[in-house]
């Protein structure tokens, strides 16, 4: 997908959030960044890691470790009210077979948490 663009945004978000927490100029080192990517977001984790190593160089994120959690695709069937996981490309309710479903998770591209010192 657009991993360079996504990585650039991740770096921007982390930088902004950390500086807001530490408004007084001081040495900040970001240690760990927790990311959440939905299985249906199209983001390739390995490509983000690859881009991050290059793009974070000489920034406060340089030594940060990326922790990426993959979020499964889940849906709610509005007819039988069941929540279920979608493992393959078939968007019908696993229980009742109907199509009145709502995707609940799986599209996320999130910066979830940041650890820094």
Partner 1 sequence: MEIKVVKNVLAANENIAQANRELFEKNRVLVLNMISSPGAGKTLIIEKTLEAFAGDVRMGVIEGDITTTLDAERLKKYDVPIVQINTETFGGDCHLDANMIANAVKDVDLTRLDALFIENVGNLVCPAEFNVGEDCKIAVASIPEGVDKPLKYPLVFIESKLAIINKIDLESVLEFDTEKLKNNILKVNPKIEIMSISAKTGAGFDGWLKWLKLHLKK
Residue 9 contacts partner 1 per CB under 8 A: yes
Whether 32 contacts 115, CB under 8 Å: yes
DSSP state of 117: -
Where does this chain touch partner 1 (CB under 8 A) — which range of 4-12, 55-63, 64-72, 76-84? 4-12
Q: What is the phi/psi pair of residue 36, to 5°?
A: -125, 120
The SS3 of residue 28 is coil
Of residues 75-94, those binding partner 1 (CB under 8 A): 89-92
| Geometric angle at alpha carbon 84, from 81 and 90, rounded to 5° | 110
CB of 6 to partner 1, least distance (A): 5
Whether 44 contacts 74, CB under 8 Å: no
Residue 29 contacts partner 1 per CB under 8 A: no
Residue 109 contacts partner 1 per CB under 8 A: yes
Residue 46 contacts partner 1 per CB under 8 A: no
DSSP state of 106: S
> Interface with partner 1 by CB under 8 A: which residues?
1-2, 6, 9-10, 13-14, 17-18, 21, 32, 40, 42, 89-92, 99-101, 103, 108-117
């Amino acid at each position: 997908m657009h991993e360079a663009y996504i990585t650039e945004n991740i770096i921007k978000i982390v930088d902004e959030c950390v500086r807001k927490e530490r408004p007084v100029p001081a040495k900040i080192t970001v240690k760990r960044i927790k990311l959440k990517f939905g299985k249906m977001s199209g983001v390739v984790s390995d490509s983000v890691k690859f881009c991050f190593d290059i793009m974070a160089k000489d920034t406060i994120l340089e030594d940060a470790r990326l922790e990426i959690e993959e979020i499964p695709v889940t849906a709610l069937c509005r007819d039988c009210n069941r929540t279920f996981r979608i493992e393959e490309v078939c968007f019908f309710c696993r229980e009742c077979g109907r199509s009145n479903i709502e995707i609940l998770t799986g599209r996320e591209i999130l910066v979830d948490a940041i650890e820094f010192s």
